Amino acid sequence: MAVAAVCITLLVVYAGGPAAEAQPKQAQKAQEVQQETCVLVEAFVVEVKLSSLYEQRVSPLGQKPNSVSVSNLLDCLNSKGTGQVTMGVKVSLRSTVKAKVRITETTYVERQVSVPGSRRVDGPAVSKSYHNYDTGDQFDAGASINSNGAILVDFEFSQSTYRNNASNDEAPPNTVNRQWSGTASLAAGEPAIVGATQNEETAAFLVLCAHVGDR
């Protein structure tokens, strides 16, 4: 009886050995596949009129189930004059690797200055000068894929936009600066709102969408 017990014990240990050795290899292989997988991350800034959202019965305070959705933003974009995409970028990166996008735009604004009569000698009464204003976008992203297929995106986004001051041509233009940073859990191929700001008339939303690509 003692010999039989020893044989059974040895048999169990022997049968479990290869399976135990295979588990770390499978985990390592899965990790390598994840690190080699490319993820395409898209970012969009959508600016819409609050009145258009209210017409869709969207809660101004985000109260569910009437909080704003991507579907509401698409309805605004499909209606003339109620919404626009002010920025859009795409970056492809390997999982766990950071990607960056930098966009800079310089706008030159013409200014007309009256020339005093004492300084004007057979010349124009108005002189022209140009002032430059820099605006742009910055987008940093990192992505990883969970075991359940969800894509975790770490993001940092900033935007500086230029708006002309129509009420006073001599005044410098107005600029709007926005900054968002955080982490979002995204389903592959499904856009989601991950940030928003608003004033008295309009609201701006940061929308992210991620796609799993080939290695």
Tens digits of residue pLDDT in 78-137? 999 999 999 999 999 987 688 999 998 888 877 777 766 665 566 666 667 788 888 899
Least confident of 26-30, 64-68, 130-134: 26-30
What is the rounded average pLDDT of the residues 72-79? 95
Tell me how far the alpha carbon of residue 63 is from its chain's centroid. 23
Number of helices followed by number of strands (H, E) in the chain: 3, 8
168 pLDDT higher than 70: no
Per-residue pLDDT, 7 = 35
> Which has the closest alpha carbon to 129: 159, 108, 102?
108
Q: Give per-residue pLDDT as tens, 109-123.
A: 777 777 666 655 666
How big is the CA angle at 70 (ends 64 and 76), to the nearest 5 degrees? 105
> Which has the closest alpha carbon to 90: 134, 143, 37, 54?
143
pLDDT band, very low/low/confident/very high, at 16 (cuts 50, 70, 90): low
Q: What's the half-sphere exposure (Cβ side, CA atoms, 13 Å) at 5?
A: 2
Per-residue pLDDT, 178 = 92
14 pLDDT higher than 70: no
Query: Three-state SS for 9?
Result: helix
Please list, residue by residue across 11-26, b when 16 or more beta carbons sit within 10 angstroms of its beta carbon and e when fewer do.
eeeeeeeeeeeeeeee
Per-residue pLDDT, 61 = 79
Cβ atoms 43, 206 nearer than 8 A: yes
Rounded CA separation 8/54 (Å): 74
Please list, residue by residue across 104-124, b when 16 or more beta carbons sit within 10 angstroms of its beta carbon and e when fewer do.
eeeeeeeeeeeeeeeeeeeee
Rounded CA separation 89/104 (Å): 13
